[in-house]
Amino acid sequence: MNVNEANLLRAIRWPLTLITLGVLFALNNFTPYRFHQTWPVLLIVFGVLSLLGRSVGGARPAGGTGGPQ
Amino acid sequence: MRRRSLTGPILLVLIGVGFLIYNVRPDIPLFDLLAQYWPFLLVLWGLLRLLEVLVEYFRGGVQRSSFSGGEVVLILFLCFIGWGAFEAHSHGVHFRPAWEAFGEHYDYNVGDQKPAGSATRVVFENNRGNLRIIGADTTDIRINGKKTIQALNQADADRANDGTPLEIVTQGDQIIVRTNQDHNPTNGKISEDLEITIPNRMSVEAHGNYGDYDVTELNGSVELYGDRADVRLNKIGGNSRVELGRSELVRAVDLKGNLDLQGRGSDIELENIAGQVTINGSYSGTLEFKKLAKPLHFESPNTDLRVEALPGQISMDLGEFTANNLVGPIRLITKSKDVKIEDFTQPLQLETERGDIDLQPNRLPLAKIEARSRTGQISLVLPDKAVFQLVATTDHGDAVNDFGPSIQKETDGRSASLKGNVGEGPSIHLVTERGTVSVRKAGAEPENTNKAEM
């Protein structure tokens, strides 16, 4: 099950990053926080999700189905 | 087998809905809305993908969801276009589909006149176009101007003109002046530049999106709201309130009342204002304040400034703050500006993250001074007969004493400080983390500075 969860985390990583991207641009448009200031959040979100995937999964999932491209 | 993503079909539906709205309700500024709200498309897209993954997961399988190359390209494309669109939108560019940019401009004269009666306030509703409002010794409201309609042909322009009559309506103690541009039956853009004369005892309120305001010689109050507007106020008796989405210039001269300004923009020029001045917003151009009799409070994301009164002037832009002849207490907290203040009284509190500080109180008695720079040199020039208790320190840098033997220099590793008590005076505290601190007497040349920096 662990491997499965790790796969799930890997799978939701990109959608969550995309949502973050949208939120940052929305902040850019509606609040004083400009995108050129907030973009590091993207790295942080992606990094944290990757870390989570690692700690939950431990090993790489078999069969070459997982792992970042 | 992997199911195909829902994104494509949903995108198609959204585009369809967009065009439908545009065709059925041309009055909705769809392109302007998109320029602002497009990031939510990304959020929606992400949520859809998230949902797909979760559904798949709870069904038992886990599907990988790295985006396909096409999607990545589309997302990047959307970001660039959207960002560009928003920047253009907030700089006042408006999006009309290409086929509407054709057509011609048709001009119409507009005008009307009506006695003001006992009304005390005029409310203007002009979506697009410039308003010039002049107070005069008269009893009538008189409007003259030009309406410009963009249309494919004269018949369309006439139809647009007939659908958007200029109205002057009395409602209680208000008189409402409407240009009715939102009733335009065609897609063409309408803009009205009006010159209005009103009795100078009246107050003015104006709402619009695109167009400048110029208000002169009124004894009443002024309230101006605009999305994209420049404002000029001249000789206003009452209080003024200005809220703008974005401006190139706000100029106010000879106001007897308070001024309250909110918005984003470029330049501000204020001169000879008898009331309190409150500015809240972000301004990237040059700000000039002169002769403000009451407190000034300026607040932007980078700068917080409070001054009790300003007989002299302040000039600031993104990198520099220069002021002379101020009445304190003064408080200036800013991110990265070189600060130079001359001729001030009362306590001063000053903080800058990055920038040099140059202080010359020039007046006696001195008051408490607290100046702090994270990176930058601090230089203080004190009058000959000043009494004070000085502590000036730098963590990485040199300390230069040109004041005289009453101030002692101490060095400790890379840090240095100047300390000295002259009489029973207020405390002066200068701190920089990186840079030179120097103190000298007024009139003396800063002879040591160059040597010290070597």
Q: Where are the alpha helices (DSSP H) in B221-337?
A: none
Identify whether A69 is part of a domain.
Answer: no
Q: In this predicted structure, what is the pLDDT of residue A67?
A: 41
Could you read off the pLDDT of B257-303 as tens digits, one per residue?
999 999 988 899 999 999 999 999 988 889 999 999 999 999 998 89
Please report residues of A whose CB lies closer than 8 A to that of B62. 4, 7-8, 11
ipTM of this predicted complex?
A: 0.74
Q: In this predicted structure, what is the pLDDT of residue A66?
A: 41
Q: Which residues contact B19 (CB under 8 A, 6 or more apart)?
A: none
Q: B27 falls in which pLDDT band (50, 70, 90)?
A: low
- Select from B70, B95, B120 the last residue of a domain: B95
Could you read off the pLDDT of B109-165 as tens digits, one per residue?
988 888 888 888 999 998 888 999 999 998 899 999 999 888 878 888 888 888 888
Query: Total domain count for chain A?
Result: 1
What does the pLDDT average to over A12-21? 87
Identify whether B175 is part of a domain.
Answer: no
Which residues form the domain of A50? Answer: 2-57
Q: Which residues contact A25 (CB under 8 A, 6 or more apart)?
A: A35, B38, B39, B42, B79, B82, B83
Q: A69 falls in which pLDDT band (50, 70, 90)?
A: very low
Q: B449 falls in which pLDDT band (50, 70, 90)?
A: very low
Question: Which of B4-13, B248-257, B314-323 is predicted least confidently?
Answer: B4-13
Check CB contact under 8 Å for A23 and B49: no
- Select from B95, B120, B150 the last residue of a domain: B95
- Count Cβ atoms within 10 A of the Cβ of residue B233 and give its class: 0-12 exposed, 13-18 middle, 19 or more buried: buried
Check CB contact under 8 Å for B42 and A8: no
Q: Where are the alpha helices (DSSP H) in B211-276?
A: none
Check CB contact under 8 Å for A25 and B39: yes
**pLDDT, mean over chain B:** 85
By the 8 A CB rule, do B172 and B87 touch? Answer: no
Q: In this predicted structure, what is the pLDDT of residue A23?
A: 92
Of the two residues B444 and B204, the one the predictor is more confident about is B204
Please report residues of B whose CB lies closer than 8 A to that of A69. 66
Identify whether B294 is part of a domain.
Answer: no
Identify whether A30 is part of a domain.
Answer: yes
The answer to whether residue B61 neighbours chain A at the CB level (below 8 Å) is no
Q: In this predicted structure, what is the pLDDT of residue B216?
A: 93
- Select from B68, B95, B122 the last residue of a domain: B95
Identify whether B310 is part of a domain.
Answer: no
Res A54 pLDDT > 80: no
Q: In this predicted structure, what is the pLDDT of residue B454?
A: 40
Q: A63 falls in which pLDDT band (50, 70, 90)?
A: very low
Check CB contact under 8 Å for B45 and A8: no
Res B63 pLDDT > 70: no
Identify whether B154 is part of a domain.
Answer: no
Q: In this predicted structure, what is the pLDDT of residue A53?
A: 75
Q: How far apart, in whole angstroms, are the C-alpha atoms of residue B111 and residue B188?
A: 21
Identify whether A65 is part of a domain.
Answer: no
Query: Total domain count for chain B?
Result: 2
Pairing of strands B140-151, B121-125: unpaired
Identify whether A52 is part of a domain.
Answer: yes
Identify whether B71 is part of a domain.
Answer: yes
CA dihedral defined by B122, B128, B134, B138, rounded to 10 degrees? -50
Of B49, B62, B66, the CB nearest to A4: B62
Identify whether B303 is part of a domain.
Answer: no
The answer to whether residue B274 neighbours chain A at the CB level (below 8 Å) is no
What residue in B sits closest to A25 (Cα-Cα)?
B39
Q: How far apart, in whole angstroms, are the C-alpha atoms of residue B133 and residue B131?
A: 6
Which residues form the domain of B18? Answer: 7-95
Identify whether A64 is part of a domain.
Answer: no
**pLDDT, mean over chain A:** 76
